[in-house]
Amino acid sequence: MATAETHPFTGTVYLTHLAALDVTGPDAEKFLQGQTSAQVGLANGHFAPLTCFCTPKGRMLANAQLLRLAPQHYRLVLDASLAESLANHLKKFAAFYKTELTIATSVTFVGSSAPDTSLLEQAGVTLPDQAYTHHTSPLGTALRMPGTARWLLMLMLEETPPEKASQETLQQAWQLADIRSGLAWLTAAQQDHFLPQMLNWEALGGISFKKGCYTGQEVVARAHFRGQVKKRLVHAHVSASALPQIGDSLVDKEGKALGEVVNSAFSDEQQVELLAVMNTKVAEEQISVYWQAQPVTLHALPYPIERLDPEALAAQLS
């Protein structure tokens, strides 16, 4: 297994592929506790755990990062293609609680390796120095992302982001940083398809095995404790002039499917890095992998594939 490049993301970019789903009201914490894989009480205005929402069969409807912005105000940061469908799904249960779900359309998302000081002053935030943590003011939030040093800013600004085309290279670089961090964010094309463990979510602290019931919890816990997860997220690269699409098959030399692409981005001209969910026997048996007849090289992930309890992570960051 090869060692991946570790060049960090550099620059500042508007991230139009993200959305914020706000959950507010006196029952917001209680409501979320019954729906999401996170121990919601750990989201304390400082620690921002990864989390996911599942079907009763344990398949992921969405994954997100959970922040508490105020005592009765939680925010889920997720792919924009999932915000409306997740809101509609959760509203079926929210009717029984004093809580509201709103897609925060006024939020501007900015990703940066070194946010501009004037922008931070305008938003009234400082940069947290630990991954999974955030600082929030009435005008915005600065969140330190897992992996290499970069920050996600959620700003209540009136400015209009530039056209996507003008930002395409930097947006690719941001997604490449996600790939190199082993972070796979679901899109609408992947709903109801993966168990959380298939995206290594428990290795990133995205599943609490110490909390009470939530939708899909029984299946997720059984898969973990019985060692039934036979597919895992992998990081790889391939020489190609076009990006592999979400869901594209990775195959062996006979053309038998071994896995499928979750995300991809150019790392250089004619070079693509990707995340894929792949059968665990590929690494164990050193099976050769191909995409469209091109050999695929697997890389080591930047974290071990073992359970990371969010309770322990929160204590470490407190």
Tens of pLDDT, residue by residue, the chain (318 residues): 554 445 578 888 999 999 999 999 999 999 999 999 999 999 999 999 999 999 999 999 999 999 999 999 999 999 999 999 999 999 999 989 999 999 999 999 999 998 888 888 888 999 999 999 999 999 999 999 998 889 999 998 765 666 655 688 899 999 999 999 999 999 999 999 999 999 999 999 999 999 989 999 999 999 999 988 999 999 999 999 999 999 999 999 999 999 999 999 999 888 999 999 999 999 999 999 999 999 999 999 999 999 999 999 999 998
Instruction: For residue 51, give the nearest of 37, 39, 34, 31 by alpha carbon.
Output: 37
Q: What angle do CA 169, 170, 173 make, to 5 degrees?
A: 95
Residue 204's SS3 state is helix
102 burial class (0-12, 13-18, 19+ CB within 10 angstroms)? exposed
To the nearest 10°, the Cα dihedral for 192, 196, 200, 201?
A: 120
State the pLDDT at residue 119. 82
pLDDT at 318: 84
Secondary structure (DSSP) of 64-123: EEEEEEETTEEEEEEEHHHHHHHHHHHHHHHTTSS-EEEE-TT-EEEEESS--HHHHHHH
What pLDDT is stored for residue 314 in this prediction?
96
pLDDT of residue 317: 93
CB atoms under 10 Å from CB of 18, counted, come to 18
Is pTM, for the whole model, over 0.85? yes
Query: pLDDT value at position 3?
Result: 45
Q: In this structure, how many other beta carbons lie within 10 angstroms of the beta carbon of residue 213?
A: 10
DSSP annotation of 171: H
DSSP secondary structure code for residue 133 in this structure? B
Quickly tell me which residue has 């290279």 as its tokens.
169
Q: How far apart are CA 214 and CA 164, in angstroms?
A: 37
The 3-state DSSP class for residue 216 equals coil
Torsion sign, CA atoms 211, 184, 295, 6: negative
Rounded CA-CA distance 202/246 in Å is 22
